[in-house]
């Protein structure tokens, strides 16, 4: 996911905060996941930052217990330290396989 932030206030040192939201579109009312995002710019700085975030899903599930695979997309958004949410971005189609 590409990001651009004008004042560099993405991420937080609070380990309990989850400013990265990921929603599985197979069931968007139930499958909402929050992830911690460490500060992406030095503390106290107000600089423009840009880059790419890679999200690795450790434990994805199949909703149909009889299926060998399912496809889905995810929507992602970021919240900065001022509480502002980014626009949502949708992934390409992802296949989840049974192991």
pLDDT at 62: 94
Q: What band does 36 get if pLDDT is binned at 50, 70 and 90?
A: very high
Mean pLDDT of the chain: 93
pLDDT at 52: 94
Task: Report, as an integer, the average pLDDT of 70-84.
Answer: 96
Sign of the alpha-carbon torsion through 88, 74, 34, 10: negative
Determine the Cα–Cα distance for residues 89 and 16; give it in Å rounded to an integer: 23
pLDDT at 45: 87
16 vs 20, 26, 99, CA distance in Å?
12, 26, 31
Name the phi and psi angles at 58, rounded to 5: -80, -40
Residue spans per domain, the chain: 1-99
Mind listing the pLDDT tens digit for each residue in 39-72?
Answer: 999 878 889 999 999 988 878 899 999 999 999 9
Using CB atoms within 10 A of its CB, is residue 51 exposed (0-12), middle (13-18) or buried (19+)? Answer: exposed
For the entire predicted model, the pTM comes to: 0.85
Asked if residue 99 has pLDDT above 90, the reply is: no
Quote the DSSP letter at residue 56: -
């Amino acid at each position: 996911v590409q990001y651009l932030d004008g004042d560099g206030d993405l991420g937080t040192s609070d380990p309990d905060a989850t400013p990265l939201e990921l929603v599985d579109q197979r069931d968007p009312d139930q499958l909402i996941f929050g992830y911690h995002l460490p500060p992406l710019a030095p503390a106290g700085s107000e600089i423009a930052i840009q880059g790419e975030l890679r999200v690795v899903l450790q434990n994805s599930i199949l909703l149909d217990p009889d299926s060998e695979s399912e496809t889905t997309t995810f929507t992602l958004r970021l919240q900065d330290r001022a509480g502002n949410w980014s626009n949502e971005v949708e992934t390409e189609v992802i296949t989840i396989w049974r192991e």
